[in-house]
C-alpha cells in the first residue's frame, strides 16, 4: 500500500493500546494514521489521548441506549432495512437456549448502538478498524457493513490471552485462575463469535511462582504494545491473507477453519 493506512479505533477505557498505536504511527513503525477514535463510554480517558493530537472523537453511550430499551421496549425500533431475526440466526454470541427477553434486549440495543457507530464512522473514511480495549461484542449487522469484502476482513482486535484459551473479558485473570505456566496475548480478525476470529499474531511470556495478577497484566500489556502495532503494519503492507484450511481425520470427518497466512515482504523470495 503506497498511501498511508487510515486507521479507525474504538475504545472503552484508558486506551493504552491506542497510545501504543498512536506512537507507532508517529515513529513510522506503522505506515498509517489514526483518523478517528470512538467509544461506548463517555468517561473513557483514552479519548483525551486522541483529542490532544486533534484526532476526531465521538461517543455512542451504550448504557443510555440499554436504559431506554428497559424503560420502553415496545417503542424501540431497529434501523430501516435491518432483519433482526436473520441477524440473530447468524450470530454466535448468545445461545438459542438463553432467556428470550434478555436475548432480544441484547440484539435490539446492540443494533441501535452500532447504527450510531456506523453513522459517525461514515464521515471518516478508514481502511482498518482496530478495537483497542473496546469492551462490546459486535454483531453481524455491524461486521458486515465494515467487512464489505468477506475475504478481506478489516476489523482487528487484541485479546489478553493465548486464544483459543480464555475468550471473554478477563483473559489475564482466567490465566491466573487456571494456574497456567505461560500467558500471552493475541491479535485476531473479528468474526461473528466472541474472540473466535482467525489469529494474526501471538506473543507469550513465562509465569513464575512469584507472579501476581498485577505482574502478569504488566507483562501482558508490554507485549500487547509490541504485537498490535506489528500486526497493523502487516495489514498496511498487504501481507495478511485469510484462507480456509481443511483437516481430514481417519474417521472421515472434516474440520474447516479460517486462518491468517502472513506473506513475505514484497520482493522477498518465499521459502
Report, as residue numbers or ranges, the catalytic residues: 159
CB of 78 within 8 A of CB of 43? Answer: no
Q: Write down how long the chain is.
A: 271
Written in H, E and C, the secondary structure of 72-119 is: CHHHCCCCCCCCHHHHHHHCCCCCCCCCHHHHHHHHHHHHHHHHHHHH
Distances in Å between the alpha carbon of 129 and those of 86, 137, 167, 177? 25, 14, 20, 32
In sign, the C-alpha dihedral spanning 55, 8, 220, 265 is: negative
**CA nearest neighbour of 10 among 36, 43, 39:** 39
C-alpha cell at 238: 498487504
CB of 205 within 8 A of CB of 183? Answer: yes
CB of 190 within 8 A of CB of 156? Answer: yes
Amino acid at each position: 500500500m503506497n498511501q498511508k493506512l487510515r486507521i479507525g479505533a474504538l475504545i472503552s477505557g484508558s486506551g493504552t493500546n491506542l497510545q501504543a498505536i498512536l506512537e507507532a504511527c508517529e515513529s513510522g513503525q506503522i505506515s498509517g494514521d489514526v483518523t478517528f477514535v470512538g467509544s461506548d463510554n463517555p468517561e473513557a480517558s483514552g479519548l483525551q489521548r486522541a483529542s490532544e493530537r486533534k484526532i476526531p472523537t465521538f461517543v455512542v453511550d451504550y448504557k443510555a441506549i440499554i436504559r431506554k430499551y428497559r424503560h420502553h421496549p415496545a417503542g424501540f425500533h431497529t434501523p430501516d432495512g435491518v432483519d433482526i431475526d436473520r441477524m440473530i440466526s447468524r450470530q454466535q454470541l448468545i445461545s438459542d437456549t438463553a432467556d428470550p427477553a434478555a436475548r432480544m434486549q441484547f440484539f435490539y440495543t446492540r443494533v441501535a448502538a452500532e447504527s450510531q457507530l456506523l453513522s459517525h464512522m461514515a464521515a471518516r473514511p478508514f481502511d482498518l478498524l482496530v478495537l483497542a480495549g473496546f469492551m462490546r461484542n459486535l454483531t453481524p449487522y455491524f461486521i458486515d457493513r465494515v467487512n464489505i469484502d468477506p475475504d478481506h476482513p478489516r476489523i482487528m482486535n487484541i485479546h489478553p490471552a493465548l486464544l483459543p484459551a480464555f475468550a471473554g473479558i478477563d483473559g489475564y485473570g482466567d490465566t491466573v485462575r487456571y494456574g497456567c505456566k505461560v500467558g500471552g496475548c493475541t491479535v485476531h480478525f473479528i468474526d461473528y463469535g466472541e474472540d473466535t476470529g482467525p489469529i494474526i499474531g501471538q506473543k507469550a511470556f513465562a509465569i513464575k511462582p512469584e507472579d501476581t495478577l498485577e505482574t502478569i497484566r504488566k507483562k501482558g500489556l508490554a507485549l500487547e504494545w509490541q504485537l498490535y502495532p506489528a500486526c497493523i503494519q502487516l495489514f498496511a503492507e498487504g501481507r495478511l491473507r485469510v484462507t480456509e484450511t481443511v483437516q481430514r481425520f481417519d474417521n472421515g470427518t472434516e474440520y474447516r477453519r479460517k486462518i491468517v497466512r502472513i506473506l513475505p515482504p514484497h520482493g522477498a523470495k518465499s521459502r
